[in-house]
């Protein structure tokens, strides 16, 4: 069944076991277009970005790509020049198998930091994956890119346009070390729409800004964050401006679906919060405030326990460095007002508030009463299991 990145026409994919993971689980994927196609990618802005990120940044500069190869279980990060050579070697091997230039191949790796790639295994895995590329390989690829994920992440959408039905599909991985900065985690999105390179770039950046860049699990930005979009153009024809808007909306929907799957799969996550900040001085401050509160450890603990402890939110607001007049703060949870003008509000139905705080997704809104700035993000709670997962073994 064609799902994920092979749901759109013009793509093949494979996910195989190369032996990188000690568990023996699948750990190498290739997603390929039938030819070089318009493409775009965004990456982590971490100063310690991994060699695969640096290599892919150079390769995507031309605006076209044939394929992306992804290894999991080893991030090839903090590996210096040898790591860069290994990343380049991965692109060279895939290019040779597909009959294109290495510059037409993107590369990404995810897993443990500071350990050299086992290139003999990687090379064997690439050979297996090239031989196994299929037009229904999206599900296998989604499994092969996972690390601490509880499940693979896939999404698909269809839109009707003046030139016919256009498909968008994607896969992603991520459960820990999730705090976006331009791009986040690893995700590949594909479409059979006839977008050009500029349209592909614009659609991806618009989608990432309000989806992948609006989630947090633990406030930790990865060295390897990569999000790529490839457009095969198999659904041929001339898109109208309205068509481009429809396709862009479908790309956004796939990215949002994948982003929410990631935050819900946050390591040890019990529930998530949808944080909305309004009345900030500007959009930038609204986003700063949203992340500061969502990532505050005491707030995350309260979220985990289903405790509507709005005092912890007020405390977190006080150290954001933004314009936060204490006497103007208003906080609602699940539509129930808990705080107005910086003070407690008498709650008529405490049971309803507690029920709202115990839902799988808790809606929390903060109004600062300063300006027109607004932002919305999704964030995981902090559980005992998260600590155990990240304390008991290297991830």
Tell me the per-residue pLDDT of 80-97, one tens digit each, with 9 for 90 and over.
999 999 999 999 999 999
Helix (H, G, I), strand (E, B) or coil at 37: strand
| Residue-level pLDDT at 390 | 64
| Residue-level pLDDT at 372 | 97
The β-bridge relationship of strands 330-333 and 336-340 is antiparallel
Cα(142)–Cα(140) distance, integer angstroms:
5
Cα(208)–Cα(258) distance, integer angstroms:
11
- Which residue among the candidates 184, 190, 211, 226 is catalytic per the annotation? 184
| Residue-level pLDDT at 213 | 86
Q: What is the DSSP letter of 103?
A: G
pLDDT of 41 over the 80 cut: yes
What does each C-alpha distance from 298 to 309, 311, 318 come to in angstroms?
10, 10, 14
| Residue-level pLDDT at 219 | 55
The b/e string for 191-228 (b: 16+ C-beta within 10 A; e otherwise) is bbbbbebebbbebbbebbeebbbbbbbbbebbbbbbbb
Q: Are 231 and 193 in contact (CB under 8 A)?
A: yes
Q: Which domains, ranges and CATH numbers included, belong to the chain?
A: 4-264 (3.60.70.12), 272-392 (3.10.20.340)
pLDDT of 175 over the 70 cut: no
Give tens-digit pLDDT for 225-240: 899 999 999 999 999 9
pLDDT of 214 over the 80 cut: yes
| Residue-level pLDDT at 393 | 58
Q: Are 95 and 101 in contact (CB under 8 A)?
A: yes
The β-bridge relationship of strands 272-280 and 361-367 is parallel
Report, as an integer, the average pLDDT of 261-273: 79
Report, as an integer, the average pLDDT of 255-274: 84
The proportion of the chain whose per-residue pLDDT surpasses 70, expressed as a percent, equals 93
Report, as an integer, the average pLDDT of 200-214: 93
| Residue-level pLDDT at 266 | 66
| Residue-level pLDDT at 89 | 98
The sign one gets for the Cα dihedral 185, 201, 197, 259 is positive
Give tens-digit pLDDT for 129-170: 999 999 999 999 999 999 878 889 999 999 999 999 999 999
Q: Are 28 and 72 in contact (CB under 8 A)?
A: yes
CA 185 to chain centroid, in Å, comes to 5
Helix (H, G, I), strand (E, B) or coil at 66: strand
- Strand 272-280: give its sheet, edge to edge: 215-216, 373-380, 272-280, 361-367, 330-333, 336-340, 343-344
pLDDT of 276 over the 80 cut: yes
278: annotated active-site residue: no
The owner of tokens 């318009």 is 38
Q: Are 133 and 14 in contact (CB under 8 A)?
A: yes
| Residue-level pLDDT at 149 | 85
| Residue-level pLDDT at 20 | 96
Vertex 12, ends 9 and 13: CA angle to 5°?
A: 135
Average pLDDT, the chain: 92
């Amino acid at each position: 069944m064609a799902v994920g990145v092979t749901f759109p026409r013009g793509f093949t994919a494979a996910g195989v076991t190369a032996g990188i993971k000690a568990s023996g689980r699948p750990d190498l994927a290739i997603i390929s277009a039938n030819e070089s196609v318009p493409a775009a990618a965004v990456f982590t802005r971490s100063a310690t970005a991994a060699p695969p990120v640096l290599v892919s940044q150079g390769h995507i500069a031309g605006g076209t790509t044939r394929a992306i190869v992804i290894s999991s279980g080893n991030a090839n990060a903090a590996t210096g020049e040898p790591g860069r050579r290994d990343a380049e070697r991965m692109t060279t091997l895939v290019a040779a198998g597909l009959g294109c230039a290495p510059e037409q191949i993107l590369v990404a790796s995810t897993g443990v930091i500071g350990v050299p790639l086992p290139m003999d295994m990687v090379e064997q895995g690439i050979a297996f994956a090239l031989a196994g590329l299929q037009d229904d390989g999206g599900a296998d690829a989604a499994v092969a890119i996972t690390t601490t994920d509880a499940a693979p992440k896939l999404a698909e959408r269809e839109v009707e346009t003046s030139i016919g039905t256009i498909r968008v599909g994607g896969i992603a991985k991520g459960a820990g070390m999730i705090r976006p900065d331009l791009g986040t985690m690893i995700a590949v999105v594909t479409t059979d729409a006839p977008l050009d390179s500029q349209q592909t770039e614009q659609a991806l950046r618009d989608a990432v800004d309000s989806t992948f860049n609006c989630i947090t699990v633990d406030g930790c930005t990865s060295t390897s964050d990569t999000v790529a979009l490839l457009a095969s153009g198999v659904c041929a024809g001339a898109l109208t401006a309205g068509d481009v808007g429809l396709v862009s909306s479908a790309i956004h929907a796939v990215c949002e679906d994948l982003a929410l799957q990631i935050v819900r799969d946050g390591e040890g996550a019990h529930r998530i919060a949808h944080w909305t900040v309004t009345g900030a001085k500007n959009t930038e401050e609204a986003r700063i405030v949203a992340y500061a509160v969502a990532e505050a450890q005491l707030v995350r603990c309260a979220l985990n326990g289903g405790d509507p402890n709005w005092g912890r939110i007020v405390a977190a607001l006080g150290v954001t460095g933004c314009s936060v007049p204490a006497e103007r703060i208003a906080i609602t949870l699940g539509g129930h007002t808990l705080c107005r003008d910086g003070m407690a509000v008498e709650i008529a139905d405490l049971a309803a508030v507690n029920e709202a705080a115990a839902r799988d997704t808790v809606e929390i809104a903060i109004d600062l009463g300063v300006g027109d700035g607004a932002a919305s993000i999704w964030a995981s709670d902090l559980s005992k299991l998260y600590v155990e997962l990240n304390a008991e073994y290297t991830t």
